[in-house]
Chains A and B, each alone.
Chain A
Amino acid sequence: MSILAECVSPGKAPHRFCVGFLMGMVVASLIAAPLIMNGDNYYRYRTEPVSHVGGVSRMAMQEESTERSAELWSERSVLDREPQDIRDPASDLDTADRHLHRDDNTVAQRLTEEVRVLVWVMTSPQTLQSRAKMIRDTWGKRTNKILFFSSKSDPDLPAIGLNVTEGRTHLMEKTNRAFRYIYDNHMDDADWFMKVDDDTYVIMENLRYLLSGENSSEPLFLGHHFHLRYRSRGAGTMKYLHYQSGGAGYVISKEALRRFGEKGRDEKLCRQTHGAEDIGFGQCMINLGVRISNSTDVLGRSRFHCFPPGHFTGGRYPSWYHAYDANGARKGVQSMSDYAVTFHYIRPSEMQTLDYLIYHLRPYGVLHALQNLNREHNTTSLPAGHSEVFAQP
């Protein structure tokens, strides 16, 4: 008890210790509380950056913060701290058994020629060696054309340097510059232009199948559709902010890129720097009159995915996802399309495993027929309840 007395009276050693101890406990609870509250659904993902919607308010929209969990810790920085677990990735990846496959690739080949997609990967000097290289050696081989953008150029990968500072606050700038570079230099190389992160896995054949049902001369924008509710200033009604998840990858048509190239420098239409790149770019597209096309298949199953497959089969999402996903945050094995296009948060080792599971492992004697999973093309292709797509510029 005398110790307690000493704790309370200032100026003594035990007092300082006690103060430190209490502060330590307070700090720890602040850190741990969000984790506890989410209990078993504890995720290390960054929340969709509602905080960055503040940037959008410059475009005369006032957001209301929706329910969201605290940012637990940045997934990106966690992955960056991982040890190198790849041993000689390039040499291990040549699967010399393609000649034995006896696969009939004619339909996939035809689509490769008819539906040209240029994919650009957002990477960084820190993640270039592990992640970007793995992309190049796995699904990157199946693209028509793939470009890697980083803050500094790297002749070995090769990566194009965008002359921006690294870091999450500069992602908007990076995205704008990358698309501008593509508009200036590669406009004619493809009909569709896709942005992905360096931890996104893309099944190119299924991407082309999806796009084969769309017209690239229309202003279109496809991906994992997110919407954000906010209260619009003045009107006082609830509205939706629409965009595509950046990590899941999104595709724009040639017409959309043309509009971006011509008018994308207008600060009133497109945020140039700062803020979440996916929200910013999404709003830019909408302000330029680009339409979001429903990327789910005819059974309503998702094709673009902002998480790895396990989250969808298990149906375990962070709480914010239910508010953001425009397709109703469906759960279970039935929520993903057979012709899924992208998955996010895929580590380099997992990319190789996915390559094996999708392109090599197969059950003997079962020949899958081509399924007609594309939707009927129509103009009102948004999920029900979303009439607000365009903001008034």
Chain B
Amino acid sequence: MHAGHAGRADRQRLDLRRHQETPILLRLVMAMWRNALAAQFCAGLALGLTVSFLFFGNNHIISSRVGIRLTRDYDTGDIGHRGDVRKMAMHSGNDEWSEADHEALDRHGDGQSDNSFLINDHHMHEGDDDSAARELAKKVKVMIWVMTSPSTLHDRAKAVRDTWGQRAEQLLFFSSAHNKTFPTIGLNVSEGREHLTAKTMLGFRYLYDNHFDEADWFMKVDDDTYVIMENLRYFLSEENPKDPVYFGHHFGLIAAQGYYSGGGGYVLSKEALRRFGQKGQDPMLCKQDGGAEDAEFGKCMERLGVKTVNTTDTLGRSRFHCFDPETHIMGGYPPWYYKYDANGGKKGLHSISDYAVTFHYIYPSKMKRLEFYIYHMAAYGVKRGFQQLNNPPKDRVPIKPIYRNPPKKT
């Protein structure tokens, strides 16, 4: 008897020790597994469902579920694409962009079935009066260069060329590769985010070397930037190309006077381009490659004495935009935007000018829609008048960028 007792006690002690060795959670799972029929079945079911969904691949299904929560864009054909845009927009102009982000962007550009951009209803528009716009086009000479690449040429650059590009008098496409049919000018630079600064420098240099006399203003945009040409000319009509000045969506960091977002587009005066042409190749003044192209270009401009100015209209509403209209209206900004935007990170219907000039992250399908809204769709019976929305230079209130330095990390 004694031996038996001792044996049991020993066994119990042994059991205790073993129990102490395996973690409780694992024990629970194992107990469930051994005893519960339902648990085994459910585990199998769950695993089967998961495996199947993963197997059926379809980023569509998974990313579309994600896309639903973030937004449903006008065209839900691009399910989840806005999710990617927001991911993209999480980087400031200053961060290194990852190739994966741009991949995501490119992937959602258009598997569309209809490639035409042109609306052939000109005969219905014969009564339109665009004389004022045409006057401005004669008076204000802007040369625009579009930064594109071989991989985005045939969807995005083509969209630019067929939509708002039709209204630009002087439009050039720059890429890393020459293309005679499109046509694009090949710059001696490798593709990739890390060489965008070189692309920008070389692009403006090309303009200075070859087209300096052909225009008073020189603008750089991306191939997903939408420009409303008439409003660009209206804005520039009261500015002086002899001033060392440039315009765009103002970010209040990096340079003391701030700089302009690359995607939102920026316009140089003739004087600014002249200074760039004469001294811009000095690497002490202007970094020739590496970094973020808009930030580096902004520093370059500052060192050459070219000024940033307030580009808002008389009501303080923005004209150049680094995001698309819905983001600015709904205020779906990434957190960095509030630090960077020199105009206070405003949002809402009343924060954008009626004579807005640029929007960014406008993919080909969106370009089509913007064309439709701005130049075709109309509310019957409302005849639009001319608004006086410009701030002439002498009346312009200078804005100090709100944050002159990046916030210190605590």
A contact set with B: CB distance below 8 Å: 13-14, 16-29, 32, 35-36, 40-44, 78-79, 81-83, 85-87, 92-97, 100-111, 203-206, 208-209, 299, 308-311, 313-316, 331-334, 336, 338-340, 345, 347, 349-350, 352-371, 373
Contacts and interface: CB of A to CB of B under 8 A. Distances in A.
Nearest to A355: B349
B133 interface: yes
A209 B350 contact: no
A93 B329 CA distance: 10
A330 B112 CA distance: 14
A20 B41 contact: yes
Contacts, number: 333
B129 A367 contact: yes
Contacts of A28: 48-49, 51-53, 56
Contact of B373 (A32, A100, A361): A361
A353 B72 CA distance: 13
A310 B46 CA distance: 37
B382 A108 contact: yes
Interface in B311-367: 315, 325-326, 329-332, 347-350, 352, 354-356, 365-366
A159 B389 CA distance: 40
B130 A17 contact: no
A32 B61 contact: yes
B68 A78 contact: yes
Interface in B121-143: 121, 124-136
B44 A110 contact: no
Interface string B70-90: 011111111100000000000
A338 B377 contact: yes
Interface string B176-193: 000000000000000000
- Which size class do B's interface residues fall under? 35 or more
Contacts of B388: 100
B84 to A, nearest CB: 16
Nearest to A206: B380
Contacts of A83: 69
B26 interface: no
A16 B113 contact: no
A101 B379 contact: no
A96 B52 CA distance: 54
Contact of A338 (B113, B124, B130): B124
Nearest to B112: A314
A221 B352 CA distance: 39
Nearest to A335: B114
Contact of A361 (B75, B124, B369, B374): B374
Q: Which of B134, B368, B388 has the largest number of chain A CB atoms within 10 A?
A: B368
A107 B380 contact: yes
Contacts of B383: 103-107, 367-368, 370
A216 to B, nearest CB: 18
A370 B372 contact: no
Given A36-B56, A93-B349, A369-B127, A13 B136 contact: no
A339 B113 contact: no
A364 B124 contact: no
B317 to A, nearest CB: 8
A314 B44 contact: no
B230 A365 contact: yes
B13 interface: no
A101 B370 CA distance: 21
Contacts of B75: 308-311, 313-314, 316
B210 interface: no
B58 interface: yes
B355 A333 contact: no
